[in-house]
Structure 1
Amino acid sequence: MGFLDNAKDKLSELSDQHPDQVESLSDQAIERGGDAADSATGEKYADHVDQAQTRADGMIGER
């Protein structure tokens, strides 16, 4: 088993143990990413960015 496999297993274990923290951090990351995209495009694609944020949050979601 390689380094990345070990890291993946450890992250999976930690996410199972702390689902609320993972959800909170993922929400923050999605929000910041959307804000960065809006800033970079002058909010020209804000509706598309919002839709992508909603889909990403749904894909990650709570287990």
Structure 2
Amino acid sequence: MFESLKNLAGKATDLAREHSGAIGQGLDKVADVIDGKTDGKYSGQIDTATGKAKEFINKLDDSK
């Protein structure tokens, strides 16, 4: 069981590496939608969360 979860995590990491640009663009789009729905009330928090998510994806890219 643990081995199959490990394999699944590895595959997910590989996909994230391959599509890091698209993931970043998707994060930006989602952030814009949420920011619009909240009338900019949480812009700072949204920007922080989006930035941290992008940093995480970029670290996956760097760990090849």
TM-score if structure 1 supplies the norm length? 0.65
Question: Which residue, out of 17, 28, 32, partners 1:31?
Answer: 28
In structure 1, stretches of 5+ residues that fail to align are none
Structure 1 residue 52, shift from structure 2 partner: 0.4
For residues 16-27 of structure 1, the aligned pairs below 5 Å read 19=17, 21-27=18-24
Structure 1 residue 33, shift from structure 2 partner: 1.0
TM-score if structure 2 supplies the norm length? 0.64
Question: Which residue, out of 52, 55, 64, partners 1:55?
Answer: 52
Tell me the amino acid that sits aligned with residue 44 of structure 1: K
1:48 partner SS: helix
Quick one: distance in 2 between partners of 1:38 and 1:44? 7
Aligned residues: 56
Structure 1 runs (4+) deviating above 6 angstroms are none
Report whether the alignment pairs 1:44 with 2:44. no
In structure 2, stretches of 5+ residues that fail to align are none
Please tell me the root mean square deviation across aligned C-alpha atoms, in Å.
Answer: 2.8
Residues 11-58 of structure 1: CA deviation (Å, up to 9, x unaligned): x28x46xx4x51111111110111011011001110110000000101
